[in-house]
Structure 1
Amino acid sequence: MNKKWQISRRKLLKGVGAAIALPFMEAMATPLGLRSYSNDGFPVRSTFMFMPNGVHPGRWTPEGVGRDYTLSPTLAPLSHLKDDILVLGQLMNKHSIFQGADGHYAKTANLLTCLPIQKTAGDNINSGGISIDQLIANHYKNETLFPSLEYGLDRIQTGVDINVGFTRLYASSISWKNAMTPLSKEIDPRMAFDRLFRTFIPGNNKQENPYKSSILDAVLADAKSLKNNLGRSDQDKLEEYLESIRSIEKRINNQESLKDFASNITPDIKRELIRVNQDIEEYAEVHSGVNVTEKTRLMFDIIALAMWSDASRVATFMFGNSVSNRNFSFLEGVNGAHHSISHHMNHPGKMEQYDRITKWHLEQYAYFLDKLKSIKEGNGTLLDNSLVMFASGLRDGNRHSPRDLPIIVGGHGGNKIKSGQNLIYKENTPLANLYTSWMQAVGMNETKFADSTGTLEGILA
């Protein structure tokens, strides 16, 4: 079967009370030459990932420069993706040095704005300006169901860190709609999934859980009808996409099955039970060494689905809030919490644990890149048409150093990025230069972002 016909990129599979976006398929390909799109006619997707607390300073940097480089032991989880990543050295966010103030907050809230934040202990927060992810989201305005997605593992923090005099609100966001408006992040995989792929599916029984049925069942007839008009390649892609949605549904529903309540519990009691249960989960997850690997990967699978279906082309993900003290004792050889261990005082045992925590984060990053690479798109993969940043706002948690930030960019940006390199720039090269390069890679006609002095040499094709 080799049917050739055109369908809209905004096409949805629809059923009774439900609708889901479709993946990009050959029948949706955009004519060549349009801005913001790869050579195959697919858009470039952007994801920005934040890891708190820095890295082991002596184990991060690869050996060699350019394409002839060897990954460091810390970066070993990315060894099979060596040709798909850029490791960038000596970049600095100069405005993260805040009037001599030590700490994390001025190195987190402005990671994607590259502008000075306003020091405050109240809610009069100011990140200096719009973040790069939101500029890109505005570039794609009205082309996707959601302009951007903001996900993470930790709730928004409130109150004041009395050690440095900053509101903890700065710890919780890297995405800013404007200087005074941070975008809140979703931390629950169920909520993230439902917002993207599930609408209320009505049942005859008003007490029935509206989420018990799969959304795929509701749109099955429309999916079958569409499939009959697709070529073989698009049929396979649609089948793979729907199976991916089904897989995530099953994993989430298995986790949620223990949270059902008896029907005779009043709504007020149920609301309070849910609140307390969430508080307990939050405390246990952060302080008791609960393994968050599956939760993280669920979130990554949802982001991948969003990018694949073109529900959104921009996402941010925070592995933890700034100063996160998540307990990582679920890792072999680690016995303690992230922020505490990051203040290693050069103790060999703590530095080893610090490095193992960083490797865990990189393993999850590799999982996401592998996921994108497994999804075929045109003549390449979704990773070929993506850019995925992994970064921390400081180099070494022990010194809170903002220089030579640990930064990796995965993906090929629609073949507009020269991946597979380790590039070391002049000391204190503006981090904003990366974002200026990024904007050009996604097709924006911009030559400056924040304090940028140009693009990064050697990365644009």
Structure 2
Amino acid sequence: MKSSSRMDRRTFLRASGVAIGLPFLDAMMPLRASGAQQAALKSPRRMVLIGQPLGMYGPNFFPEKAGKDYVASRYLKNLEGMRDRFTVFSGMSHRYAAGHFAEVGIFTGVAPEFIRDKDIKNGISLDQEVASHIGNQTRFRCLNLGGGDVTWNKRGVRIPAEQRATQVFRKLFIAGTPEEEARELQRVKDGQSILDDVGDQIRSLNRKVGTNDRERLDLFLTSVREAEQSLQQDEHWSTTPKPKVEYQTPNNDFGGPQLIERSRQWYDIVHLALQTDSTRVMTLWLGTQERPEIDGVNLGHHDASHHGQDPGKLEQLALIEEAEVKVFGEFIEKMKATKEGDQSLLDHTGVLYTSNLGNSSSHDNNNLPIILAGGTFKHQGHLAYDTKNNMLMSNLFVRMLHHMNIEAQTFGASNGIVSEV
């Protein structure tokens, strides 16, 4: 069923203190748009870079066999339903020397001689390069979330990340005077929905649009409510005492012990920001060094990751990393289920999932865990390079720029392009 009226692509649902951008609807298509114009409107290119600080245990992450018919590893079994929508890479890195400091170069990919302990000469990160080309097309040129030292401008200056999901939710959906914003945010924390303020507008909109648009609106509104519930849970955890364990809290806190629920919260925010076309470029840095809230885990994440091949610690680490990959899988499944034009949000979004460490136990930065999902890529299952003489990850970044319709020849320390995908 076609809608009987047209609406602007930037239509908002508005009330006092509330401004909610809508996902792309058929009713937003210009009546006389050409085929090429329709395709461009329905399928804007997007990119999300996701990282974490403590790597992945290789034998549980990488498949043994290359190609599309690989046998899924312990961790990748959690992504089996999405097998045709991602590629896992082995034998790829930036070739940095061992050490945690390599985090700063994970998305910039500058040459190893510029990323040394206590001597960092960084370049622009991939997200900021993309934002410099397309950032003016959306409300936010780029969103950098979670934490980490992974986002850098063209002068090599670090750009701080937004570490509070509440503040990002406010940026996306709450607009007004400081008093109105505070009131709306408190209502969400108290269990009320910002959608209550625009209920009449939603009902009016549903009468004007076709069946497909109503289904998209329903999915979108469900996502908003899920994000609100996550914020309510976040408020609960902020006032709940942490468990006492035999573990010394590290100086660097990458998000607290609520690793999985906090990750889900951030993934919900990323999904909503993309769904509303609030931005088309995002970074998300996840993780905790404390003991995460996972059944069977009684060690801190940092302690388990520095396992020294101890079987007990390796199993603890596997439980943590398995849960991390599972929640990532939930995110890309939700992206695939979100229709945008004739395809899905995942079809239009290149999602990179990685870490600055290959083996955290030895602080080794080679053979990084890398998954590339969605987008316009020709996914290859398991793409295996030389685990001793690694393929430069910057070559993959050049390919990701091409996905964003940016015809770059080089990026970072690249010496070619990953053309297989």
Query: Whole-Å Cα distance in 2 between the matches of residues 287 and 114 of structure 1?
Result: 22
Distance 2:24 2:121 in 1: 35
- Structural RMSD (CA): 3.1
Change (3 A) 1:43 1:61: same
SS at match of 2:66: coil
In the alignment, does 2:157 pair up with 1:181? yes
Aligned equivalents of 2:255 and 2:228: distance in 1? 27
Kept after mapping to 2: 8 A contact 1:31/1:41: no
- Structure 1 residue matching 2:48: 3-state secondary structure: strand
Q: Aligned to 1:327, which of 291, 308, 311? A: 291
- Is the Cα–Cα contact under 8 Å of residues 138 and 277 in structure 2 kept in the other structure? yes
Report how far residue 357 of structure 1 moved.
1.9
1:248 paired residue among 227, 235, 240: 227
Q: Which runs of 5 or more structure 2 residues have no equivalent in the other structure?
A: 240-248
Q: Does 1:294 align with 2:261?
A: yes
Give the unaligned 5+ runs of structure 1: 155-171, 261-281
Partner of 1:215: 194
1:348 alignment counterpart: 311
Alignment of 1:59-208 (within 5 A): 59-94=60-95, 96-97=96-97, 102-105=98-101, 107-116=102-111, 117=114, 128-152=122-146, 172-200=148-176
CA apart distance, 1:38: 6.3
- The share of aligned pairs that are identical, in percent, is 29
Q: Specify whether residues 4 and 66 from structure 1 end up closer, same or farther in structure 2 by C-alpha distance, changes over 3 A only.
A: farther
Post-superposition offset of 1:41? 3.0
Separation (CA, whole Å) in 2 of partners of 1:289 and 1:259: 10
Match of 1:10 in 2: 10
Match of 2:371 in 1: 408
Q: How far, CA to CA, are the matches of 1:70 and 1:127 in structure 2?
A: 41
Rounded Cα–Cα distance in structure 2 between residues aligned with 1:4 and 1:42: 23
SS at match of 2:153: strand
With 342-351 and 130-139 compared, the bigger mean Cα shift is at 342-351
1:454 aligns with 2:416: yes
Deviation at 1:373, TM superposition (A): 1.5
Aligned CA distance change for structure 1 residues 290 and 207 (closer, same or farther; 3 Å): closer
The superposition leaves residues 41-87 of structure 1 with CA deviations (integer Å, 9 ceiling, x where unpaired) of: 31122111112122223232213222221211132211221111110
Greater displacement, 364-373 / 186-195: 186-195
Is residue 287–residue 327 contact of structure 1 (8 Å, CA) maintained in 2?
A: no
Across the two proteins, how many residue pairs are aligned to each other? 401
Task: Give the 3-state SS of the residue equivalent to 2:145 in structure 1.
Answer: strand
Please give the alpha-carbon distance, in whole angstroms, between the structure 2 residues aligned to 1:8 and 1:127: 45
Q: Is the 8 A contact 2:380 2:420 kept in 1?
A: no
Determine the C-alpha separation between the residues in 2 that align with 1:74 and 1:397.
Answer: 17
Give the C-alpha shift of residue 289 in structure 1. Answer: 8.1
Q: 1:304 to 1:209 in 2, by over 3 A?
A: closer
Structure 2 SS opposite 1:19:
strand
SS in 2 for 1:88: strand
The residue matched to 1:58 in structure 2 has which SS?
A: helix
Determine the C-alpha separation between the residues in 1 that align with 2:254 and 2:335.
32
Paired residue for 2:270?
303
**Contact 2:145–2:282, Cα closer than 8 Å, also in 1:** yes
Q: Distance in 1 between matches of 2:122 and 2:56?
A: 26
Q: Look up the SS of the partner of 1:317 in the other structure.
A: strand
Q: Which whole-Å deviations, capped at 9, do the CAs of 1:176-221 have from their partners, x for residues lacking one?
A: 12344322222222222111111247889x9967642643233334
1:344–1:398 Cα contact (<8 Å) kept: yes
Normalised to the residue count of structure 1, the TM-score between the two structures is: 0.78
Q: Is the 8 A contact 1:284 1:290 kept in 2?
A: no
Instruction: Please report the TM-score for the alignment, with normalisation by the length of structure 2.
Output: 0.85
| 2:404 pairs with 1:421 | no
Which residue in 1 is equivalent to 2:345?
Answer: 382
Report the alpha carbon displacement of residue 142 of structure 1 after superposing the two structures with TM. Answer: 1.6
The 3-state SS of whatever aligns with 2:19 is strand
